[in-house]
Structure 1
């Protein structure tokens, strides 16, 4: 993508507004919390104190709108504490000549490192920089600096109190994440009816896992219907694939295939009903035909592994429906077992050392987080110093704009830059016109500021330009409480906004963090992770008695994370104005698409084999563990070849498989397949390994460089 096309694309993204993502109730609640802080403080303390309290309440409320599975009151309190500390340190430094730029650089660097904890922490940390820049402009002494810092923290505390008193859809984020997982399983079941080789999108399952990690406070208050349903969803996933697959599950044609389609259709109906019930909290309601589709009367049509997979599927669906509808008798009710164990999330106090360790691990050369932290510190400090040279009173708006614009990736930085400049200009001009023409008193200015805060909360998830317009107007009304000329300050703010935005965008262009350069690394990590997952599954066949279920589970989670990192990097790279060939001559965009398909095929085969893992008392399949180790080494070598540009070749693995198959896996009569329990596991391993090699062949062809492909065709 050219620079012109990239700028046009990111600019449009920043100016877009999507009305469907508004949340009026939460916006009203957040604005009400700000009003409960700013009006009493204005009456008791004055304009300067009201400004500090309003800033704290506003940013604390903004933190609660970020995507997070932590309790919303906790986010508000944490944001308030961070704002109080940053404000107090800023007050101490601003009175010492030359000290404030150093503090600003250090605090901005720490805010950049906060992105190692996730987007929510990164956004809140960047907001503390902007509040420090605004509030320290108020001339106060050191003793009163403590009061202003406490008022910032008070704003966060009031936000937390209002959230606790006025709950809006408690556990909504957790419900949505779990419901999305069940909805994706339903879509997966429908796709399998028509395409037995369809793959599932693991992203909803990953989000559900993150949502299932609870703090002790959440553990005591979790709704009963959210207890254990995620683990059931994970068990449903391989059962669906095992029923549909024609090599290891139901036959490709005939009565078995028709029966498999009926089971998948019934499962999709029930999974959709489960998703609706989880999301809304209402009783489970599904069509009357669903139980008959899942468990029809008469002799079973499915046999062998397909029959066992169908039984596992109905058992897991029974457990899920029983968890949501325990008081209702249905044909699917069965034994309901407890969860295998819960995921734990540290509380707010315990999170501090965890956060420090996580951020400190990023302080090494080459990490994107460290690159962003250094760039953020340099950009904010440079914008502050350049603006100070102008001698304008509101020069801090330049550094504030730079802090709000800079993000770790190109797309967000440039889209926010365009939106920030446009929104600030519009918001400042509109608010200044109101102030200049209407001459509102302090109480009216506070009321207008609260209205603008409500507008910012309402549009926070819809479009950054509209949000910035509301925020800029809010700051203008808030600072109107202090003496000064509205027209003069409006001109200064617009000018400093342009300066700060220009510095931020230019700095990113000169010191970029291109995701395109990381695509080969992400590809290599995904290849190796899927290979380890397949090897862990094969080890379960080689030693059923000694199999540790956590090994397969951990390998699966690593493969999911690697896939998510690859897709995220690919999406971000698509918006960057650089060519992939400049960073990775051996890969093209088309090749990356084919690699994704091949690795999806490889993951699906490993998933099918996982669905048929034998019980502990089963006979081990000789040689399965050894071949799995060879597979893990071969895929790790393939990943290294992607990074170095060497050719990817699985010929050695194919030769090892032929030797193993001839010596350890004697051929069986297809007509007798799965008829004897002793040979079932060998048949599954035989079919699965052949599919694994087919997938690796697809990967090998996808990674072949153009000159190699031409040589192969000529040969």
Structure 2
């Protein structure tokens, strides 16, 4: 476990890592918030760094929404709690009961919205301090002001040292393409080297492709709310490229479901196609990162191999044609002036 954790840490130790950037922001904001809280003439200066840390998230959209929800929830929670204390002239015992009720409401409603949970927390703090005999005039203004300070620190930190997802979309798309290519190549190869459906390399490649796809989807969702202009990959291009890779994944899974059993008739040209798919998708991933259009000449050459036969497994013959179409659609999605598609598949021959 420890070696795996160390590998994960080393993997993220670079300036462009969202994890490293979030850790840096959190450290700087916590220290700054503590110093500001200590410098301000209040008795609960720790509220500022606490609010900032509770607000901050690795992505902009969550940080912004949590900042707004925390401030609004704090104002309403403090207002309601202060009004209750003023109306009831609550002593320590009643304040304690109200604090318990606020805590209970927080646990009941915390899954509904950040705003509601924060309102309950703010009310709980006011009631809890009331049990110690502190007046609302001592706690309410401090709570609101220090929450504002913490929220501003969180937003300023993100503005100064951001970790936008939008510029990373090309890299994540390339990672997905490379992982999907390895999975597809592994499946196609087993038509040339039948080992049955229990193929460990196929399973491993499938899991890697799923991880890459999940990372892409998460980044796209976060990027949708960022105030960052698209850099070379428009939303339409991203959607079309995603559709092409999703279709490629579905075709590959269909081919995997029909893998020949061990000892079945092999399809020798599938080995060349597998090599071409793996190499071409790796080069294609590099092209995507470098803002170039991927080319699939090697895949088409493998499909034009004269050793393909009509007697070969129809799943790999028709599936390879569909894979070629998916790759072509991916290039078209990334090209503002796409070339005409070439959906050639293995020639339908009557003999070997």
- So what's the TM-score if we normalise by structure 2? 0.90
Cα distance in structure 1, aligned partners of 2:308 and 2:8: 47
Structure 2 counterpart of 1:387, from 16, 37, 41:
37
Q: Please tell me whether the aligned partners of residues 295 and 331 of structure 2 are also in contact (alpha carbons under 8 angstroms).
A: yes
Cα distance in structure 1, aligned partners of 2:5 and 2:180: 29
Cα distance in structure 1, aligned partners of 2:256 and 2:197: 12
Structure 1 counterpart of 2:275, from 604, 624, 629:
629
Structure 1 counterpart of 2:188, from 515, 538, 561:
538
Partner of 1:497: 147
1:696 aligned to 2:327? yes
Q: Please tell me whether the aligned partners of residues 375 and 511 of structure 1 are also in contact (alpha carbons under 8 angstroms).
A: yes
Structure 2 counterpart of 1:484, from 134, 140, 154:
134
Partner of 2:308: 665
1:602 aligned to 2:233? no
The CA deviation at 1:630 is 1.3
Cα distance in structure 2, aligned partners of 1:626 and 1:353: 38
Alignment of 1:35-50 (within 5 A): none
- Structure 1 residue matching 2:74: 3-state secondary structure: helix
- Structure 1 residue matching 2:313: 3-state secondary structure: helix
Partner of 2:318: 687
Partner of 1:458: 108
Cα distance in structure 2, aligned partners of 1:541 and 1:356: 39
The CA deviation at 1:484 is 2.6
CA separation of 1:353/1:484 partners in 2, compared to 1, >3 Å: closer, same or farther?
farther
Query: Residues 118-160 of structure 1: CA distance to partner in whole angstroms, max 9, x if unpaired?
Result: xxxxxxxxxxxxxxxxxxxxxxxxxxxxxxxxxxxxxxxxxxx
CA separation of 1:537/1:509 partners in 2, compared to 1, >3 Å: closer, same or farther?
same
Partner of 1:126: none
Query: Residues 415-441 of structure 1: CA distance to partner in whole angstroms, max 9, x if unpaired?
Result: 000110011111112212323443434
Structure 2 counterpart of 1:649, from 295, 299, 319:
295
CA separation of 1:469/1:547 partners in 2, compared to 1, >3 Å: closer, same or farther?
closer
Query: Residues 636-674 of structure 1: CA distance to partner in whole angstroms, max 9, x if unpaired?
Result: 11111011122311123212320x2x1x222x3xxxxxx
CA separation of 1:645/1:385 partners in 2, compared to 1, >3 Å: closer, same or farther?
same
CA separation of 1:441/1:357 partners in 2, compared to 1, >3 Å: closer, same or farther?
farther
Cα distance in structure 1, aligned partners of 2:229 and 2:11: 30
Query: Residues 228-270 of structure 1: CA distance to partner in whole angstroms, max 9, x if unpaired?
Result: xxxxxxxxxxxxxxxxxxxxxxxxxxxxxxxxxxxxxxxxxxx
CA separation of 1:594/1:356 partners in 2, compared to 1, >3 Å: closer, same or farther?
same
Cα distance in structure 1, aligned partners of 2:3 and 2:185: 36
Q: Please tell me whether the aligned partners of residues 420 and 464 of structure 1 are also in contact (alpha carbons under 8 angstroms).
A: yes
Q: Please tell me whether the aligned partners of residues 436 and 487 of structure 1 are also in contact (alpha carbons under 8 angstroms).
A: no
CA separation of 1:541/1:359 partners in 2, compared to 1, >3 Å: closer, same or farther?
same
Structure 2 counterpart of 1:615, from 246, 249, 261:
261
Cα distance in structure 2, aligned partners of 1:500 and 1:682: 64
Partner of 2:84: 434
Partner of 2:117: 467
Structure 1 counterpart of 2:23, from 354, 370, 373:
373
The CA deviation at 1:684 is 2.1
Q: Please tell me whether the aligned partners of residues 539 and 547 of structure 1 are also in contact (alpha carbons under 8 angstroms).
A: no
Question: How many residue pairs get matched?
Answer: 340
Partner of 1:520: 170
Q: Please tell me whether the aligned partners of residues 197 and 259 of structure 2 are also in contact (alpha carbons under 8 angstroms).
A: no
Q: Please tell me whether the aligned partners of residues 102 and 120 of structure 2 are also in contact (alpha carbons under 8 angstroms).
A: yes
Cα distance in structure 1, aligned partners of 2:45 and 2:140: 12
Q: State the Cα RMSD in Å.
A: 2.1
Partner of 1:111: none
CA separation of 1:479/1:356 partners in 2, compared to 1, >3 Å: closer, same or farther?
farther
The CA deviation at 1:513 is 0.9
Partner of 1:576: 226
The CA deviation at 1:442 is 3.4
Cα distance in structure 2, aligned partners of 1:453 and 1:352: 37
1:553 aligned to 2:168? no
Cα distance in structure 2, aligned partners of 1:353 and 1:636: 28
- Structure 1 residue matching 2:131: 3-state secondary structure: coil
The CA deviation at 1:353 is 8.1
Q: Please tell me whether the aligned partners of residues 184 and 252 of structure 2 are also in contact (alpha carbons under 8 angstroms).
A: yes
Alignment gaps of 5+ in structure 2: 341-352
CA separation of 1:593/1:460 partners in 2, compared to 1, >3 Å: closer, same or farther?
same
Q: Please tell me whether the aligned partners of residues 269 and 302 of structure 2 are also in contact (alpha carbons under 8 angstroms).
A: no
Alignment gaps of 5+ in structure 1: 1-350, 669-678
The CA deviation at 1:355 is 5.6
- So what's the TM-score if we normalise by structure 1? 0.46
The CA deviation at 1:362 is 2.9
Q: Please tell me whether the aligned partners of residues 197 and 261 of structure 2 are also in contact (alpha carbons under 8 angstroms).
A: no
